[in-house]
Amino acid sequence: MLYMVIEHFHDGVGPEVYKRFRENGRMMPDGLNYVSSWVEPDFSRCFQVMEWDDPAVFAEWTAKWDDLMDFEAIPVVTSAEAQELMRNRRQNSPMPE
């Protein structure tokens, strides 16, 4: 499943986040996949698309970073998947009389 992960950096920790990243990489366990990310110019938040099936791998990963940031994970689907879901919904809904 895909998730939009929003990392809310604690005040002023941007340099420490990037120092840890340079030294250790993302530190992601097997089963957690990074897709892409964007960072706000003021280094207050990072938006990442990630993928996992087992919530335990996300918890394992966030435990390595939770001293520097708080996390929000929102399940998402791609635009193509959303179109297919809506197409199937329309096809399976009863016709109005």
Q: What is the pLDDT of residue 83?
A: 93
**Residue whose entry in the numeric block shows the structure tokens 């329309």:** 90
Range in 11-20, 50-59, 80-89 with the lowest mean pLDDT: 80-89
The structure's pTM equals 0.84
- So what's the pLDDT on residue 65? 98
CATH code of the region 2-92: 3.30.70
d(CA 52, CA 90): 29
Q: Where do the structural domains in the chain lie, given as residue ranges?
A: 2-92
Q: What are the distances in angstroms from CA 71 to CA 3, 6, 87, 88, 96?
A: 12, 6, 33, 33, 44
Look-up of token digits 């089963």: 31
Give the pLDDT confidence of 19-76 residue by residue, as tens digits. 999 999 999 999 999 999 999 999 999 999 999 999 999 999 999 999 999 999 999 9
Q: Which residue, chain included where needed, has tokens 């892409």? A: 36
Strands 2-9 and 45-51: antiparallel
